[in-house]
Amino acid sequence: MGKAVYSPEDYDVHGVLRLPWTFWLVLILLAKTWLLFVAAGASRQQGEELLMLFYPDRGLFWLGMLLGLPAALGFILSGYRQRWPRVWQGWRWVLIASVLAQIALQGMLIRQAGSDLPWMTGAFLLLDIAALAYLLLNARLIDSFRHFLPDQDSNQV
């Protein structure tokens, strides 16, 4: 299987393969607890109520923060792909491990809930499974992590 060929528009001004826009959606999905935390902090009076609406159990909130940390760091690390290429190349696997842990947690919550399954838990489980498939199978994303510099050859597979 040969290396995919991308158009010049797929590279930024530094010659780095641009990340697909769907990758940013995956990061937002995986960092959803962090985004909720920021939204709660921005709405000072209703912040506690907002957190209690989505996370009535504080332990699950902190676990969500921990599991979303790789995605939150992924936002930051994406700007340093050229500076830390080895870290960036391995970060896809960190994100895969993170989404697997989130799927396992949601599976445990669904099993405990029984017939009282909140619809959001099931919806997030399906979205996380789709995100996992995307991280594992999308060729453009894989190339964005593996061959983000256009002069790298495909011998590093």
What is the rounded average pLDDT of the residues 18-44?
A: 91
pLDDT of residue 79: 87
Instruction: Inform me whether the pLDDT recorded for 157 exceeds 50.
Output: no
Within 8 A by CB and 6+ apart from 43, the residues are 50
Q: Report the C-alpha gap between 141 and 7 in whole angstroms.
A: 15
* Contact criterion met (CB below 8 Å) for 99 and 135: yes
Three-state SS for 15?
coil
The tens digit of pLDDT for each residue in 11-30 reads 888 778 889 999 999 999 99
Residue type, 126: L
- The residue count for the chain: 157
What is the rounded average pLDDT of the residues 58-84?
A: 90
For 51, the enclosing helix (H) or strand (E) is helix 47-54
pLDDT of residue 100: 97
**Confidence tier at 138 by pLDDT (50, 70, 90):** very high
pTM above 0.75, yes or no: yes
**Confidence tier at 108 by pLDDT (50, 70, 90):** confident
Least confident window among 15-19, 22-26, 70-74, 139-143? 15-19
CB atoms within 10 A of CB 123: 11
Percent of the chain with pLDDT over 70: 88
Helices and strands: H and E segment counts in the chain: 7, 0
**Confidence tier at 115 by pLDDT (50, 70, 90):** low
Dihedrals phi, psi of 55, to nearest 5 degrees: -130, 80
